[in-house]
Amino acid sequence: MSRKVPNFQQPTTDHTADVVIAGSDENDTRAQQLALSTNLPVVQGDAIATARYCLLWINDKLVLRDKTTSQINDICVDFSEGRQRHRQQFGGGQGQPLARAVNIKGSHQPHICDGTGGLGADAYVFATLGAEVTILERSIVVHALLADGLRRARDHPETSAIAQRITAYPADTCKLPDSWPCNTKPAIIYLDPMYPRTRKNAAAKKGMQTLQRLLPHDTDERALLNAAISTATQRVVVKRPLKASPLPGPTCVGFIRSPNTRYDLYRGRG
Ligand SMILES: C[S@@+](CC[C@H](N)C(=O)[O-])C[C@H]1O[C@@H](n2cnc3c(N)ncnc32)[C@H](O)[C@@H]1O
């Protein structure tokens, strides 16, 4: 698939005032390179101790440390860890509701854009099933974690072929179709906007709880859906909690259910 030179609007960075990069010393080139690509400050010593969120490397993994809670709360992207591997082996292949929602069928492999990339778990499932995936993620902090996870996955013999099918960009999906980075528009755009945090879903996985605390609450769901519909050539899929109302905007043309989740389907007009 050919790619054109991306012409992105700067993704949202509101939340980054609370995030620092922990540098081991002033010559820490890895930290300096991350600072260049994210515009986040590199700090040392006491400034690390007082930061609310800190990006640091542990055994070659880029980790986001959430220091706003008393529990140890580190998140990183690791496609070879148990949960992801379990999902790969036992997730149900092409028969699983997620695969049916994005229309992966037999040898039919649509180009999928994951327009709300997050930590890349759903995108990795699409790539595991053989699809080419373009991820857009507007948080530069989350994108940095994702890019680091993909770098390690490309270097690992078990995950390399899958990770080669994924490309991640720091970009705001609401700015589509103008900022679409490839020459050909995607057949499918998949959206998984953050659910509002309620008592009922407070048991969200640790990583997702940290993202819920760190990231601004999504208030532009209508714009997100409209931008996706005007870009995808075949279908837009929106992941929702089973009983939640659909996103505001156009009416969906169908849905696919799984025990806890509903995938709302919209016709693409790209
Ligand atoms: C619930 S998480 C997605 C989780 C993801 N499906 C996974 O499997 O890890 C939502 C993500 O969407 C991102 N996001 C929200 N609105 C966006 C937008 N307009 N453009 C790009 N990313 C967006 C947020 O920054 C957040 O990382």
| 123 CA: nearest ligand 1 atom | 8
Examine the pLDDT at 9 and tell me if it is beyond 50. no
Rounded Cα distance, 94 and 103, in Å: 9
Spatial contact of 165 and 119, defined as CB atoms under 8 Å apart: no
Q: Return all residues near 83 (Cβ < 8 A) that are at least 6 apart.
A: none
CA-nearest residue for atom 27, ligand 1, is 118
Rounded Cα distance, 13 and 137, in Å: 11
Domains of the chain, earliest start first: 14-75 (no CATH), 82-267 (3.40.50.150)
206-222 pLDDT per residue, tens: 777 888 888 877 779 99
CA-nearest residue for atom 3, ligand 1, is 118
| pLDDT for position 7 | 45
Nearest Cα neighbor of 24 from 57, 61, 63, 64 is 57
Nearest Cα neighbor of 239 from 263, 208, 205 is 263
| pLDDT for position 8 | 46
Q: How far is CA 118 from the centre of its chain?
A: 2
| pLDDT for position 213 | 85
Rounded Cα distance, 181 and 260, in Å: 33
How far is the CA of 191 from the CAs of 117, 223, 225, 240, in angstroms? 8, 12, 8, 9
Average pLDDT score over the chain: 89
| 172 CA: nearest ligand 1 atom | 20
* Structure tokens given for 76: 């990183």
Q: Tell me how far the alpha carbon of residue 194 lies from the centroid of ligand 1, in angstroms.
A: 7
User: What is the maximum alpha-carbon separation in the chain?
Assistant: 55
Q: Is the Cβ atom of 137 under 6 angstroms away from ligand 1?
A: yes
Spatial contact of 124 and 166, defined as CB atoms under 8 Å apart: yes
Spatial contact of 86 and 78, defined as CB atoms under 8 Å apart: no
CA-nearest residue for atom 5, ligand 1, is 118
Q: How confident is the model at residue 157 (pLDDT cuts 50, 70, 90)?
A: very high
Q: Is the Cβ atom of 66 under 6 angstroms away from ligand 1?
A: no
49-71 pLDDT per residue, tens: 899 999 999 999 999 999 888 77
pTM across the whole model: 0.92
199-210 pLDDT per residue, tens: 555 556 777 788
- Write out the H or E segment, with its range, that includes residue 191: strand 188-191
Examine the pLDDT at 90 and tell me if it is beyond 80. no
| pLDDT for position 208 | 78
DSSP state letter for 108: B
| 116 CA: nearest ligand 1 atom | 12
